[in-house]
Amino acid sequence: MPFQRYGIRRYGNGDIIHVPFVRAGHWVFGTGLRAVRPNGLADPAVLRADHPLGAPPQAQREAQAIFDTMRRHLEEAGSGLDRVARLDQYYPDPRHVDPYHVARKQALAGQVAPSTSVIVDRLLNLDVSMDVQVMAATAASGYTVEKAGTGKLNVPQTSGYAPCLRMGDMIFVAGQLARDASGNIAPEAQVPAGQMWNGTRIKLETDYLVQKRLVPALDAAGSRLDLVLKAQVYLSHHEDLPAFWQSWSRAFGGRVPPTTVVPVRHPGFGTRDATIEVNLVAAHESAADRVRDVECDVSLIATDMLPARVFDGVLFVAGLMGIEDGGLCAGCHVHPSAPFYDDPVQAQMRDILEKAATIFAAAGTELAYVTRALHFHADLADFRRGYVAWDPGLRRTGLPFSAIQVADTLFLPGAAVILDLWGYVP
């Protein structure tokens, strides 16, 4: 059972087919988990619109429903909640976070895996409170959970997650902010009070986050920066991207691992003043010789970044946009005098998926083995237009996708979508 889909659902007119769970080798991926029915609409038994004052609050009820679904499908796929290695959550309102945490602690018996929570603009369902992603090891893998960094890296007590975890030879680092033991942004990560220029805020924050948060987490788990397989970076000021990349590239000696950078509105993180959050997946130092770099000619947001890495059958792909030479790809522009012949959203997705196919082929696999596809949009009204750019055969089989509206501007004027892909190499 190297690759298997679970819980297939049909949304809209039935032509949007969601595969919420995929088993790929030793791992199970859950993507786009919301408290919805098989038709994609929010579950009225969870919303309880006719009982708005009932306890627990709606966000907690939704989380309970999500973890019930998660438990059922993980077990069906040969895993379980006790084998969860990573969680990612997107919320349209920060008030939903604490009720979710209550349900998450209960579901995971207090043993919460490394987690990243981000505030976003909209979800695919306008009446739900969260969209959750999970990654868990199968029982057949023989992998066991080893926590690291506990007591060395501070985490919010209400969250209760492990800052870093080893599962097999894979290291998972929770979303990190440039905060100190107080829970606030460290003074070293800020321009000195009262000064208009004495360092660049995003560089100071990034440098602190890397050296004081990420490096210690990796070291505690037996890894290091050059073994990072994938990073997800969230920036709450999109204009910070160039300066951020200078610091990010320097941290990796000019050879950046696959990185997806996503803009969100400010404030977007648990510490209000934070402007960046980063999570990582890395290989253990004992398995360094199993890390394989994937090289191919595709246009990314930076020329010094690897398109992908492969480790133990998992393909970690850099964030993809419809870009070339630092701007939108040629086919993504609409002529102002004849705007009705072209669809720039579909054009961007076609460009992205061509790049993805090239990367997957270079890794020795194909897009049929996508295990997660996160679409980050400037406007979710564009989602369907981008979704239909996927190969019709893949759409008929179903995709392990979600879609999130994150910010009005995705770094470039006219950019509509950033695609974050994970895959399987049999």
The pLDDT profile of the chain, 426 residues, written as one tens digit per residue, is 589 999 999 999 999 999 999 999 999 999 999 999 999 999 999 998 887 777 899 999 999 999 999 999 999 999 999 999 999 999 999 999 999 999 999 999 988 899 999 999 999 999 999 999 999 999 999 999 998 866 656 655 555 678 999 999 999 999 999 999 999 999 999 999 899 889 999 999 999 999 999 999 999 999 999 999 999 999 999 999 999 999 999 999 999 999 999 999 999 999 999 999 999 999 999 999 999 999 999 999 999 999 999 999 999 999 999 999 889 988 888 888 888 888 999 999 999 999 999 999 999 999 999 999 999 999 999 999 999 999 999 999 999 999 999 999 999 999 999 999 999 999
Two tokens, residue 336: 């102002």
The residue among 142, 144, 291, 163 whose CA lies nearest residue 221 is 163
Q: Cβ(149)–Cβ(169) under 8 Å?
A: no
- Please count the CA atoms within 13 angstroms of the CA of 17 that sit on its side-chain side: 15
* CATH class of the domain whose range is 1-143: alpha beta
Beta bridge partners of 88: 116, 133
Asked if CATH classification 3.30.1330.40 holds for the domain at 171-290, the reply, yes or no, is yes
Instruction: Please tell me whether residue 414 adopts helix, strand or coil conformation.
Output: coil
CA–CA distance, 252 with 309 (Å, rounded to integer): 15
| CATH code for the structural domain at 307-425 | 3.30.1330.40
Model's pTM, two decimal places?
0.96
**Residue 154: predicted pLDDT:** 61
Sorted by where each begins, the domain ranges of the chain are 1-143, 171-290, 307-425
Q: Cβ(212)–Cβ(253) under 8 Å?
A: no
**Residue 203: predicted pLDDT:** 98
**Residue 316: predicted pLDDT:** 99
CA–CA distance, 169 with 311 (Å, rounded to integer): 9
CA–CA distance, 352 with 410 (Å, rounded to integer): 14
- Please count the CA atoms within 13 angstroms of the CA of 330 that sit on its side-chain side: 0
CA–CA distance, 64 with 318 (Å, rounded to integer): 32
Judge if 171-290 and 307-425 fold alike in CATH terms.
yes
DSSP 209: I
Two tokens, residue 223: 């890894």
Q: Which residues contact 254 (CB under 8 A, 6 or more apart)?
A: 304
* Residue ranges with strand state E in 154-265: 164-167, 170-176, 228-235, 259-263
